[in-house]
Amino acid sequence: MAENGTDKKGRKDDTLWDTIKTVFYAVLVALLVRTFAYEPFNIPSGSMIPTLLVGDYLFVSKYSYGYSRYSLPWGLPLIPGRIFYEEPERGDIAVFKHPRHPSSDYIKRIIGLPGDTIQVTDGVLHINGEPVERRRIDDYVFHDDNGNVQRVKQYVETLPNGVKHRIIEETDSGSLDDTRKYQVPKGHFFMMGDNRDNSLDSRVLAGVGYVPKQNLVGEAQVLFFSTNGDAALWEVWNWPFAIRWNRLFDTVS
């Protein structure tokens, strides 16, 4: 017995509606995960070298520090202050909204907690009046834009809570290597890049300055992709050589 036109139309309508519902639920789940669990970010600048490289892609934990309006898409002002707040630890690598330009995402290391005194003298970081230990290790070696091999002094810095991380210093007499004393206000954090001579961070009060806790987006946790930029999107044949395979799924610290 042949189907009539009404039955065929009804089946097509049902299929279309099922497809729309599937797409809607998929988008909703992705939005919820991105808002409350993990959000992907990429590294566009070298301010966190050697820890993070240009072309790194990482997941940021949105729940690590609780939630604020900046946890929501487009920074919708639906959350007053910060809820479910967990205090960051010194040494965390955090994504945050620029205090003066909230549409811009920055990523730096949390160096100063509320109430801390921070100062850099002759390139050495001081926290609450005490110099932070830094131990010289092998130079950081990289190729510049012209393909030339460059070497930069590299150190392991040990923060007061025992967190160890690498930093690089081109010089100890740069514009940000001798600073004033900074008193971190209540509810704010002092952020610095690991590439100490090439980072716009809290040392520049007219730039980034102190970062309010409401501006924290989340803690950087794991790299899921990394490319050196040598392959364009359409150069599929070059992708395997541009991917930094040794960095995939590394934890961020």
Least confident of 27-36, 50-59, 103-112: 27-36
Residue of 143, 134, 153, 132 lying closest to 195 (CA atoms): 153
Residue 166, pLDDT score: 98
**Is pLDDT above 50 for 243?**
yes
Task: Give the pLDDT of residue 109.
Answer: 98
| Average of per-residue pLDDT values in the chain | 91
Pair of tokens at residue 20: 């729309």
Residue 45: active-site member: no
**Reduced to 3 states, what is the DSSP secondary structure of residue 59?**
strand
Say whether pLDDT at 64 is over 90: yes
Select the more confidently predicted residue: 233 or 241. 241
108 annotated active-site? yes
Instruction: Report the run of H or E that residue 107 belongs to, with start and end.
Output: strand 105-112
| % of residues, the chain, pLDDT over 90 | 76
Q: Which of 98-102, 119-123, 227-231, 248-252 is least confident?
A: 227-231
Q: Which residues of 86-101 are buried (b: 16+ CB within 10 A; e: fewer)?
A: eebebbbbbbbbbbee
Give 68: exposed, middle or buried? Use CB within 10 Å, 0-12, 13-18, 19+.
Answer: buried
Q: Which of 68, 108, 199, 213 is catalytic?
A: 108
Choosing from 47, 68, 202, 226, the catalytic residue is: 47
Cis amide linkage into residue 50, ω under 30° from 0: yes
pLDDT at 28 over 80: no
Q: How many helices (H) and strands (E) does the chain have?
A: 2, 16
Give 69-105 as a DSSP string.
Answer: GGGSGGG-TTS-SEES--PPPTT-EEEEE-SS-TTSE
Write down the pTM of the prediction: 0.88
The C-alpha atoms of residue 165 and residue 169 are separated, in whole angstroms, by 13
Quickly count: other Cβ atoms within 10 Å of residue 108's Cβ. 25
**pLDDT computed for residue 35 by the predictor:** 77
Q: What is the band of 3 on the pLDDT scale with cuts at 50, 70, 90?
A: low
| Max Cα–Cα distance, the chain, nearest Å | 91
